[in-house]
Structure 1
């Protein structure tokens, strides 16, 4: 096939030898099957920022670090330089997360490098060597669904123990390889401790998986793994080998709104009294 412009530089530099075929194309990137020596891999070519919108990314960007104060100010002001920095930060987030999670033993594609805006990584295949299907494209027996759920919950735990939340996990960014599910697509990964929406995103990730796999194993629908692991994470008791039960008792105690309002009013009145005292002291002087 004709070599896409984004991959020609990698061929020129000897990173890959040939582009075999397109694999998929989405809003964020296009993925191609490539050959590197005797190995068949995939190359994720991120699309230019002019083709994409940052408006839906605000909740994901909270808590992400940028290189320096100049870059942070430029991003905040949405200058042209700031948008370029924001673009690079978005790409680098996925690359960094992939390296971190692969090193931690998570079931993610092995990365081989990031070159000129292109991420080269393992091609996930099925038992016959073809590109692996997405979880949302396969039929499962009940026992298979339970096992996939167990494996995927463990991947979420590994991410959370590393301070990360996928943020967009569903049956359509999980591939089914011969050895089980593999999680992909991390540009929207968020900081578990630096993002105010972290808990909500974690619960959404786990609930998406549970709802899908619960189609074949309805007993999964009565589990609370997301809530359980978040409570353990907040308490500092979640570890990669923590055994989860799927059981969780939410705190259903009603909030004492009248008490909260009274406490706020008491604090306000105390501040007024102190201010009056300061003003009286100044007049006496």
Structure 2
């Protein structure tokens, strides 16, 4: 295929050798399948700020550190330079998170390089070496749904032990490879200690997974892994291998349990709506 201008510099500098085909395109980035030597990888090209909304990012960026005091003041002022710094921080947050999480043993694609706004990383494939499907695109047995749920809950724990929360985790940000689920897409990654909405985002991430996998294993809908792991985290006792039961004792005077269950069902409905929207966008592309 014709090389996109955004990837030409990587070919000229020898980072990749060839662009094979587009993989997917969304509001945040476009992803291409590329060749680097004898390996097939993927290249994520982040779209510029003109194609994306900053309003949604405010709560995600709370707790992220700017490069220096000048950058912090510029972001706060909303100047052109500040918006550019905000854009750079947005991109760097995903890159930094991938390297950190990969080193911690979290199931994420291996990152190789980040140059000219392009992240080159491992291409997750299925058993036939085709691009792996998203969790939202596969049918599961109850046994496999329970297995995937246990794996993903453990990955959320490992991320939390790194001080990070995905922030937008759902069946659309999980790929299913031969060895199980792999978590992708981290531009909304949240600081667990520095963001006031961290707990809410963690519970939403876990509820999204539970709502999806609960379609095949309904007993999962009566588990409370998010609440349990956050309570242990707040107590300073969470470790990557901390045993979890999925049970949690709520203060029934202050917590609406039916409301929590309704929130899980709402998450499932939102996931279905998002799927329809993405399928429509794919048809347009």
Q: Which residue of 1 aligns with 2:2?
A: 2
Q: Which residue of 2 aligns with 1:109?
A: 109
Q: Which residue of 2 aligns with 1:54?
A: 54
Shift of 1:251: 2.1
Q: Which residue of 1 aligns with 2:283?
A: none
Give the count of matched residue pairs: 255
- Specify whether residues 11 and 254 from structure 1 end up closer, same or farther in structure 2 by C-alpha distance, changes over 3 A only: closer
- Counterparts of 1:230 and 1:26 in 2: how far apart (Å)? 31
Q: Structure 2 unaligned runs (5+)?
A: 256-285
Q: Which residue of 2 aligns with 1:91?
A: 91
Q: Which residue of 2 aligns with 1:157?
A: 157
Q: Which residue of 2 aligns with 1:235?
A: 235
What aligned pairs does 1:33-72 form with structure 2 within 5 A after superposition? 33-72=33-72
- Specify whether residues 105 and 254 from structure 1 end up closer, same or farther in structure 2 by C-alpha distance, changes over 3 A only: closer
SS at match of 1:119: strand
- Counterparts of 1:48 and 1:172 in 2: how far apart (Å)? 22
Q: Which residue of 2 aligns with 1:278?
A: none
Shift of 1:252: 2.7
- Counterparts of 1:14 and 1:113 in 2: how far apart (Å)? 12
RMSD value, Cα = 0.9
- The answer to whether 1:138 aligns with 2:131 is no
Residue deviations 1:22-46, cap 9 Å, x none? 0000001000000000000000000
What aligned pairs does 1:1-285 form with structure 2 within 5 A after superposition? 1-253=1-253
- Counterparts of 2:211 and 2:10 in 1: how far apart (Å)? 41
- Counterparts of 1:162 and 1:67 in 2: how far apart (Å)? 20
- Counterparts of 1:138 and 1:254 in 2: how far apart (Å)? 38
- Counterparts of 1:168 and 1:50 in 2: how far apart (Å)? 21
Shift of 1:133: 0.2
Q: Give the structure-1-normalised TM-score.
A: 0.89
Larger Rg: 1
Shift of 1:254: 5.2
SS at match of 2:182: strand
Shift of 1:207: 0.3
SS at match of 1:245: coil
Residue deviations 1:4-25, cap 9 Å, x none? 1110000000000000000000
Q: Give the structure-2-normalised TM-score.
A: 0.89
Residue deviations 1:165-223, cap 9 Å, x none? 00000000100000000000000000001000000000000000000000000010110
Shift of 1:250: 1.1
Shift of 1:253: 4.0
